[in-house]
Amino acid sequence: MALLQGPEAIAGRLARAAANARAAMLPILDVALPPLCPACRDVHAQPGGVCAGCWSKLSFISPPYCERLGVPFVYDPGPGILSMEAIANPPAYGRARAAVRYDDVARALVHAFKFSDRLDLAPMIGGWMLRAGRQLLAEAAAVVPVPLHWRRLWARRFNQSATLAGVIAEASGLPLLPDALQRTRATPHQVGLSRSERATNVQGAFRVSPDGKPHIHGKRLVLVDDVLTSGATVDHCSRALLRAGATNVDVLVFARVVDAARAPI
């Protein structure tokens, strides 16, 4: 008779029943937990988005800006004008573009994305970057993320720049070259370092992998990172890519520091 069952069969049935109950509960739990704004932890946000208050506090960067560095101008000096900074200290990369200024909301979003595993933010952040980098992407042949050192990648489980680069590559129909650039040593965090210390910190820390070389040779590339502070990291990555034969490297980031003291003109 079916009623005569051993303890193993009963345990198996109980386990299946528990699994079914958990599966049935999941949609209820999804509805019961309202999405939180990743920047302010308020409950009014759409899933994968920010609340209206945080949205209004984000400073999206739009023209007029320095054609080279993408740093916003206070007034419009006319098309193609470069900032004093770009003339005095030209970077290795061609042009840099950022979606937003690195202010409080942008910082909170980057932290949630990077350190709290909020990978669901990637489409929103990547979408803003796509808009900011439309021209660079239209002229590029491939997208390259700023690499993490393997030890940091292991600790954090994902490379935030590679995740954003993936969203951008897919949406723009460009190939993604996630392993073209390598970080040859784990550089200390840039936080709290001066501009010259940052440059020294990342010097010689990047190289193009032997396998990556044929993919970047003769190509125009867009290098993707989450935040641009002094520009030392993207500058050294660009040097490594250009040394390996890339014809041009443009830089696309989510947020950049806009220092009032460095405001052009």
CA 261 distance to own-chain centroid: 26
For Zn ion, which is the closer residue by CB, 93 or 102? 102
Using CB under 5 A, list all residues that contact Zn ion.
Answer: 37, 39-40, 42, 51, 54
Question: Which CB sits closer to Zn ion, 39 or 168?
Answer: 39
Shortest approach of Zn ion to residue 94 CB, angstroms?
35
Handedness of CA 95, 100, 103, 109 (dihedral sign): negative
Outline where DSSP puts E strands in the chain: 96-101, 142-145, 181-183, 206-208, 220-228, 248-256
Cβ proximity to Zn ion: between 121 and 144 the closer is 121
Nearer to Zn ion, 107 or 185 (CB): 107
Q: Are 262 and 85 in contact (CB under 8 A)?
A: yes
Q: Which residues of 50-68 are buried (b: 16+ CB within 10 A; e: fewer)?
A: bbeebeebbeebeeebbeb
* CB-based contacts of 141, cutoff 8 Å, min separation 6: 174, 175, 219, 220, 221
Is 254:96 a contact under the CB 8 Å cutoff? Answer: no
**CB of residue 101 to Zn ion, shortest distance in Å:** 17
Closer to Zn ion by CB, 56 or 194: give it. Answer: 56
Minimal distance, residue 123 CB to Zn ion, in Å: 17
CB of 160 to Zn ion, least distance (A): 20
Look at residue 56 and give its three-state secondary structure: helix
Minimum CB separation of residue 60 from Zn ion in Å reads 16
CB of 39 to Zn ion, least distance (A): 4
